[in-house]
Amino acid sequence: MSNREREREREIFDCIIIGGGPAGYTAAIYLARAEIKHIIFTGLKPGGQLISTNKVENYPGFPNGISGYKLMESFKAQSERFGTKVKDNSVVKINFNIIKTLHEVILDNSLKRKTKAVIIATGASPRYLNLENENKLIGKGISTCANCDGFFFKGKKVAVIGGGDKAAEESIYLSNLCKKVYLIIRDKKMKASKIMQKKVLNIKKVEIFYAHKVIKIIGVKKIKAIFCKNIKHNNNYLFKVEAMFLAIGQIPNSLICKPNIKLDKYGYIITKYTITNIPGIFAAGDVQDSKYRQAITSAGSGCMSAIEVEKYLQERIY
């Protein structure tokens, strides 16, 4: 270890933010303006899930919409303008209360950073079907991002799995590229917002199949078809497609919290506002929100967590 690295390990931050999505960057903006010494570790996917969203139409302040990537770049630029240090390291472990109420995070390069408070804003990851053959075909026809991978299936038949806003958005985007889009929904109706439903229903290239469940993925080196069961009529249907885009929800990225931080049965961090069961540890965004899961609510909880950190630090003498 170099002398510079040793000095960094001795450095103590007022707050370390883990995660670089709307919650993390908003927390950073508020901490920076409060002149609280902090650093943000964005992990391997700066910007979170939002960077793969083609167009965000419901974030206030953008009447014509904005791409998720540009929105998150703006979040980052704003936080850096106020002095936030942004690093792309991942945090692999948190050591709680190493000295009284001082915590320590361990990075993916094995370096350690000490801090008085931590904001966990690690977000969530796309959920998969957990079917045989699925893992082998990720990147070979199976994707969770139409904006990222849709181009490779231009003029082809594809399927989108899911019935929420994300599935609707993926279907709309793919309809501009693909020959045919099968929207396969497990429930008997769509859960997407009314405006998104109307958009999808008005696209001729999108064919919707309600009450269908994917039970088998066919293909060796790439997807050739998916086999579905019609839950309502108890019969099966084969969709010959070259790609399957999953939009069936998310799993909170809360692994680093175990076993110390309390989680609910689905893995979301349990908070009171943004306060966890461990003093000095706060959580914001999708990692603690199983209900709303919107960019604006994530940003709002990021603001709340920063205010809670400021209050926490003021109430303690270090």
Catalytic one among 14, 15, 88, 148?
Answer: 148
**207 secondary structure, DSSP code:** E
The per-residue pLDDT for 79 is 96
The per-residue pLDDT for 45 is 79
The per-residue pLDDT for 318 is 54
Query: Is the link from the previous residue into 126 a cis peptide, with omega within 30 of 0?
Result: no
Active site residue 178: no
Structure tokens at 284: 């914001």
**94 secondary structure, DSSP code:** E
The per-residue pLDDT for 232 is 83
The per-residue pLDDT for 2 is 65
Catalytic one among 145, 178, 228, 257?
Answer: 145
- Unique residue bearing structure tokens 């709309």: 172
Strand, helix or coil at 212?
strand
How far apart CA 24 and CA 177 sit, in angstroms, is 34
* Contact partners, residue 292, CB within 8 Å, separation at least 6: none
Active site residue 148: yes
How many CB atoms within 10 Å of residue 165?
19
Give the Cα-Cα-Cα angle 41, 125, 270 (nearest 5 degrees): 75
Catalytic one among 14, 149, 165, 286?
Answer: 149
Cα 227 off chain centre by: 28
- Phi, then psi, of 210 in degrees rounded to 5: -85, 160
Active site residue 14: no
- One digit per residue, the tens of pLDDT, for the chain of length 318 reads 666 666 677 889 999 999 999 999 999 999 999 999 999 999 877 888 788 777 788 899 999 989 889 999 999 999 999 999 999 999 999 999 988 789 999 999 999 999 999 999 999 999 999 999 899 999 899 999 888 789 899 999 999 999 999 999 999 999 999 999 999 999 999 999 999 999 999 999 999 999 999 999 999 999 999 999 998 888 899 999 999 999 999 999 999 999 999 999 999 999 999 999 999 999 999 999 988 888 999 999 999 999 999 999 999 865
The per-residue pLDDT for 86 is 96
How far apart CA 171 and CA 166 sit, in angstroms, is 9
The per-residue pLDDT for 3 is 61
How far apart CA 283 and CA 21 sit, in angstroms, is 13
The per-residue pLDDT for 51 is 80
How far apart CA 35 and CA 304 sit, in angstroms, is 16
CB 184 within 8 A of CB 212: yes
